[in-house]
Chain A
Amino acid sequence: MTTDQIWRSEEQAVFALRGLYQRYGYAPYKMSQFEEYDLYVRNKDFLISDKIITFSGEGGKLMALKPDVTLSIVKNAPEEPGVVQKVYYSENVYRDYREIMQAGLECVGDLTQYDIAEAVLLAVKSLDLLGGRYVLDISHMGLLAAVLERCGFDEGKQKQAMACLRQKNTHDLKELCGDNADAWETLQALSGCRGGAEELEALSPHLTGEAEQAAVAELKALLEMLKERGYAESVRMDFSVSNDLGYYSGVVFRGYLEGIPASILSGGQYDKLPRKMGRKSRAIGFAVYADLLQERSREDNSFDVDTLILHDGTVSLSEVNRAAKAASKNGSVLVATTAPKGRSWKNLVTLKGGAQ
């Protein structure tokens, strides 16, 4: 039996991802199972879910089973000029009263454009490594924030516009823009953008603001780098990808694998999180939700064991041993005196009084 047959698909995936991140100089990060609840409450909008499992710790301190890894990493990240901490993790996190297997990486510190682009490259490579057809959708929170600001939307309208973009909902977006023709023209172009560098080029004339043009230049350089690495075909500009504007500031992305009905990878640049913690660092990272790989598991689970050897207890040890050894060449073997309930087998070998 090979390790492929023993390990579940998500375990194999996490093992392979760890190797990938290590090859790019990322160091393993191991965190404790729980953190002070206060850390999560102060940054609850950063979390995917606010259903956190809490319990009383020493001295009555309220503790939480970790719902997220990023906050703990950023909290302890370096702040010296020129220093960047690159770590990866494979941890179980606890959300919505479920244990979720998650792998990912975080790059925190005095980031350069290369660090950011490399993190996005590793996101594409992670999808590639998981096998099958995949797509990485890329957007930019700095760009979206600048456009919404230029449209003159107040906070409430900005939220509604973001929701429309996220849902590719142009009908409600049009209504929201009302007679603001400039806003509608830009937001419609953003919502309809789906493709590579040429789509971004076509979109560029609609993005007139200084911050918008800077974001476009950053995205163009990123796409160019991914193209040079041979990943142009699997990467698309898609502004339905968005994260909380209060935390995310730059490029954001979401990855999909064919056969899995939700995004399996999600991440982005979140410089505003360390800033909220009073730190100067910049940060980018992503998580791979390895549990979702079960959705496309094609493993043959029609049988629990390959061979069941049933003996009546009078058969000699050496005879049972011979039969078990012979059967083990064809896979897993279970030896029993009565057929186990609720389990299934491909082949049955019956041994009676020394004769098969």
Chain B
Amino acid sequence: MDWINIALPKGRLGEKAYAMLKNSGYECPAIEDPGRKLIFENPEKKVRYFWVKPSDVAIYVERGAADLGIVGKDILLEYEPEVYELLDLKMGRCRMAVAGKKDFREPVGQTLKVATKFPNITRNYYAGKCRDIDIIHLNGSIELAPILGLSHVIVDIVETGTTLRENNLTVYEEIVPISARLISNVASYQFKDAEINAIRASLQKQVEEK
């Protein structure tokens, strides 16, 4: 049996995903001890975990540093990595949406200014509508952009909508629903398919039982 390397996204989503993997029999007690270690191994189960920034999971998997990873669909749509998307874990659910000020009226005949952390998703979405846009790439506090007049609308992840409501913003269009996915490196899948499919099947069972 080969070792399986799994990249987990730091944060609540990663912790939930680890709990599911633990339930599947791929526990790693070392990961539950708080400390500064970066890599956690269980030699008995031949599984190795590491926490990475959520937006980096797909890179670790695509480049083969990890065989498997847990990543949001938003990251997959934005970076379009060459990986297998094996399972929808149906957790970390939210939606990618277009939002703007409550009194917003689309400027007809003008270029639409869109602030976002997701330029690729935004470009693809508006290209499908043949709408001329100006993308303003921001790295955080996207909601500020329409309030300060930096952009007409924003394209961002909306979970509960509380931040939007508190800032007098509202969702105008839903682009795509988002949830966490199990991804695999394409080459790892060729040589470790038995182990990878066993993990997938066990996680799928847990998703269906929820």
Binding site for B on A (CB under 8 A): 133, 135, 137, 167-169, 171-172, 194, 240, 256, 258, 260-263, 295
Contacts and interface: CB of A to CB of B under 8 A. Distances in A.
- Main SS at interface, chain A: loop
B82 A168 contact: no
B86 A168 contact: yes
B187 A168 contact: no
B87 A262 contact: no
A194 B82 contact: no
A167 B187 contact: no
Q: Which 6 A-B pairs have the closest CB atoms?
A: A261-B64, A171-B88, A169-B85, A168-B84, A135-B190, A167-B85
A27 B84 CA distance: 37
Given A261-B185, A262-B82, A262-B186, A171 B191 contact: no
A135 B192 CA distance: 12
B63 interface: yes
B68 interface: no
Contacts of B87: 171
B193 interface: yes
B187 A260 contact: yes
A262 B193 CA distance: 15
Interface in B106-148: none
Nearest to B197: A194
Nearest to B128: A156
Interface in B72-88: 82-88
Given A171-B87, A261-B63, 4 more contacts: A167-B83, A258-B190, A258-B191, A261-B64
Nearest to A260: B187
Contacts of B184: 168
A167 B187 CA distance: 13
Nearest to A262: B187
B85 A168 contact: yes
B85 A256 contact: no
A295 B184 CA distance: 19
B180 to A, nearest CB: 12
B188 interface: yes
Nearest to A240: B84
Contacts of A133: 191
B191 A135 contact: yes
A233 B75 CA distance: 36
A123 to B, nearest CB: 15
Contacts of A258: 187, 190-191
Contact of B190 (A167, A169, A172, A256): A256
24 contacts: A137-B190, A167-B84, A168-B84, A168-B85, A168-B189, A169-B84, A172-B85, A172-B88, A194-B193, A240-B84, A256-B186, A256-B187, A256-B190, A258-B190, A258-B191, A260-B64, A260-B187, A261-B63, A261-B64, A261-B186, A262-B82, A262-B186, A263-B186, A263-B187
